[in-house]
Amino acid sequence: MTHIQYHTQSMQPFIEEVELDQLAPYAKLALQQLLTKDGAGNDFTDWVDWPIQYNIEEFNRIKQAAQKIQSDSEVLIVIGIGGSYLGAKAAIDFLNHSYYNLLAKSKSLPQVFFVGNHLSSTQIQDLIEVMGDRSFSINVISKSGTTTEPAIAFRIFKQKLIAKYGKDEARNRIYVTTDSKKGALKKEAQEEGYETFTIPDGIGGRFTVLTPVGLLPIAVTGADIDRLMQGAQDATNKYRMDNYHENSAMRYAMIRNCLYRKGKDIEILVNNEPALQPFGEWWKQLYAESEGKNHRGLFPMTANFTTDLHSIGQMIQEGKRNLFETVLRFSNVRKDISVPEIEEDLDGLKYLQGRQVSEINEKALEGTVIAHQDGQTPISILEIDNMNEEALGELIIFFEMAVAISGYLNGINPFDQPGVEAYKKNMFALLGKPGYEDLQAQLKQK
């Protein structure tokens, strides 16, 4: 079943169909290279077949672990950075109540807090205070176990866990998602006997949301990960077609490439539902790390409407014409509410009395799209039928397939991220890490 419709009629003033026809052979080649693993970075393309070939035994263990955490923990601390938390956070907000953590206790589900994705001492200490003396478990996610941010957080919360339960019981409350064979975290997990899940060797961090990296935290909130994987599986089969008229992920990649060649070097992913804000953060990492190389690539940013129309909306409407928008729109909302009817009209809303807020939100989006088109901003719309697991599975695969094709069209390897290491080296030198003495001396001269 298809859960996504990609509408590109509004692109016609900016891109002619003949341009896409000319680009089609290259897009087909890019897709073929992805599917046959002949392209750049092919060692990290196992995500392409993952929804069809994932490890069922491990998948069932994830569901069992989630049930155990639900039964013995009021809080789950998820430790990871980048792809080790963004996808799970996006999925949890997409699938659950807007205030999940506030209502979790009443539903006998654990609150889920993410840490290890920053170096803020204040926020770490605040989280410890919020947890108080409640029961908790840890899911630490790291390929190596030595990435600074999550490694520090793991030390801190592991210490809290041991202090509360003792070392033996703490072992039963630590769930490790890491490399299958090597790394500091893998070694510790083996020595201590932690429940362990695998980050697949052939899948880079930003593509791991449908692996144990994302599935365990998602399952803990009560989401149906069977349905999530079914949606991803259906999409995996759908987006293998090499006809861009039928394969909307391919069409999206081609349109982005055409606009980029015309000087549109900023893409804004727009939503009008707050639940999609974390999804935008996941999308930003996926596209920035995949395409931002060799001084090339579209700059990905997000906008939350109508909120951001009162801030960056002016720039979108009348600023430099180097951007385009991809709008995420839901056909159906989970809940609705009407505007109350009152006798006086002091707020000028009498004409809206009795109407559904979802209708008003939709008309606001429709009016914005028209205004931005009139302002010469190219816009396409990705319409999603529902905010459920199947739709989310398809949405994830749509964007993953598209960024791979887009990267190959732009002549880069979409599966590495060499630039991410630059800040780490400087940080290590400034902190006096052994082996970085020469760089430390260089930095002192700057």
The 3-state DSSP composition of the chain as helix, strand, coil percent (nearest 5) reads 55, 15, 30
Domain ranges of the chain: 4-40+229-416, 48-226
Query: How far apart are the C-alpha atoms of 102 and 100, rounded to whole Å?
Result: 5
Asked, colleague to colleague, whether 4-40+229-416 and 48-226 share their fold, the answer is yes
Mean pLDDT, residues 418-427 = 67
Angle between helices 389-409 and 277-291 (to 10 degrees): 20
pTM: 0.94
Q: Which of 105, 167, 187, 424 is catalytic?
A: 424
Q: pLDDT digit string (tens) for 77-133?
A: 999 999 899 999 999 999 999 999 999 988 899 999 999 999 999 999 999 999 999
Cα atoms in the 13 Å half-sphere on the side-chain side of 77 = 27
Q: pLDDT digit string (tens) for 188-207?
A: 999 999 999 999 999 999 99
Going by pLDDT thresholds of 50, 70 and 90, the confidence category of residue 430 is low
Top-level class of domain 48-226: alpha beta
C-alpha distances (whole Å) from 343 to each of 36, 346, 353, 354 are 67, 9, 10, 12
Look at residue 45 in the predicted model and tell me its pLDDT: 96
CATH value of 4-40+229-416 in 3.30.70.270, 1.10.3720.10, 3.40.50.10490, 2.40.50.140: 3.40.50.10490
Q: Which of 267, 289, 389, 390 is catalytic?
A: 289
DSSP per residue, 117-134: SS--HHHHHHHHHHHTT-
Look at residue 323 in the predicted model and tell me its pLDDT: 96
Q: Omega into 148 within 30° of 0, i.e. cis?
A: no
C-alpha distances (whole Å) from 382 to each of 3, 377, 386 are 10, 16, 12
Tokens of 359: 């209708």
Q: What percent of the chain has pLDDT over 90?
A: 88
Catalytic, 341? Answer no
Catalytic, 264? Answer no
DSSP per residue, 423-441: HHHHHHHHTT-TT-HHHHH
Q: pLDDT digit string (tens) for 117-176?
A: 999 999 999 999 999 999 999 999 999 988 999 999 999 999 999 999 999 999 999 999
Mean pLDDT, residues 257-282 = 96
